[in-house]
Amino acid sequence: MSASWTPRQRWAARLNVETPPRRAWDILESLGPGGLDASDDADWARVSEAKLEDAAGWRRAALSFDVVDEELRAAELGARLIVRGDPDYPDLLASIHDPPLVLYVQGLLGSRPPVAFVGTRVPTPYGRRLARRLVRDVSCRGLTIVSGLARGIDAEAHLAALDARGPTWAVLGAGLGHVYPAENLPLARRIVAEGGAVISERPLGARPAPELFPRRNRIVAGLSWAVVVVEGRHKSGSLITARLAAECGREVLAVPGPADSVMSEAPHRLIADGARMAATAQDILAALPEGMLLESRDAAVPVPAAPPTEEEAKVMALLGADALSLDELVQLSGLDTMRISSIMFGLELKERVSSVPGQRYAQKEAR
């Protein structure tokens, strides 16, 4: 069970319901818990320099919020509440334009330098491979991996960090009581169990909503020394995170992709606009502040799979960096459909290939 909340934490949780973060901070700092207990609408308007009608609305929302129930739910979820100004509130996040007033945190916020990986929810096999390789390599050099627990590149980044035995932080757009997407709930639990953290600024019962995800993205950027973009179309949400990172004074890096892939549009646009290219782990490490102390260790060593047969090796060579359908593999290999199906089944069991959207197969990045 988590420790009981202080009066300051309880008022911060109330303020966090509707009051904009910067106004909420002004109100909390100016009035304090005791002053808030005795305050009225005019007090809130005065200290926050807001219109009286706005301040009145924020105060009504705060007073109607069941903070006792919120505290009990936080204890049930094993979550703690960190308020801006607390010793364990992340320094990098506190330095942005509008840091969250509160963070609900499950798990641990360690001291390893954080770097964010973001990208498309529908990555290509190339994007998955590069994300996993880069995350694995920088995680083994002592970085914490930050992302948003979304499908696609976010999930790949979290998984690669865990496979490298490194911590990873997942920032949610909804409350901790509504992990989204639901299919990533097991991943969120694994992140906490293996020394990372799941984080949200929203009340525990807040459900996913489109307007919350750009707010989430500013936290991903604000927590991190640098943001690495892996794949995305020209209107990708990852460009929002990249823009927010640049506004925070963070380094923005982009992984170059195939010129004929629509998923290369976002990273190539960023590179054209001056973002650093991230083709290797060293590119990312070079973007960090000079003199930053990093540890270096080996990744977890997986149990090796059985070596491929001669026919399996031939099919693996045909796949290369591309994803191919069963029919394409039949045409290229000269083998019949039944034989190719058997070979692909064997390669999947050995975790050397994976099926991807469109009934295609791609090589699986070594883990």
Q: What is the pLDDT of residues 248-272, one digit of tens each?
A: 999 999 999 999 999 999 999 999 9
Q: What is the CATH number of the domain that holds 330?
A: 1.10.10.10
Which range marks the domain in which residue 224 is found? 114-286
**Is 14 within the bounds of a domain?**
yes
**Cα(301)–Cα(308) distance, rounded to whole angstroms?**
19
**What is the pLDDT tens value at each position of the chain, 367 positions in all?**
456 999 999 999 999 999 999 999 999 999 999 999 999 999 999 999 999 999 999 999 999 999 999 999 999 999 999 999 999 999 999 999 999 999 999 999 988 999 999 999 999 989 999 999 999 999 999 999 999 999 999 999 999 999 999 999 999 999 999 999 999 999 999 999 999 999 999 999 999 988 888 899 999 999 999 999 999 998 888 899 999 999 999 999 999 999 999 999 999 999 999 999 999 999 999 999 887 767 666 554 443 456 778 888 888 888 877 788 888 888 888 888 878 877 886 787 667 887 776 667 888 765 4
199 and 244 inside one domain: yes
276 and 130 inside one domain: yes
222 and 197 inside one domain: yes
Check: CB of residue 330 under 8 Å from CB of residue 361.
no
255 and 340 inside one domain: no
| Structural domain ending residue among the three candidates 53, 82, 107 | 107
**Is 282 within the bounds of a domain?**
yes
pTM of the model: 0.82
User: What is the number of domains present in the chain?
Assistant: 3
**Is 300 within the bounds of a domain?**
no
Residue 59 tokens, joined: 């105060």
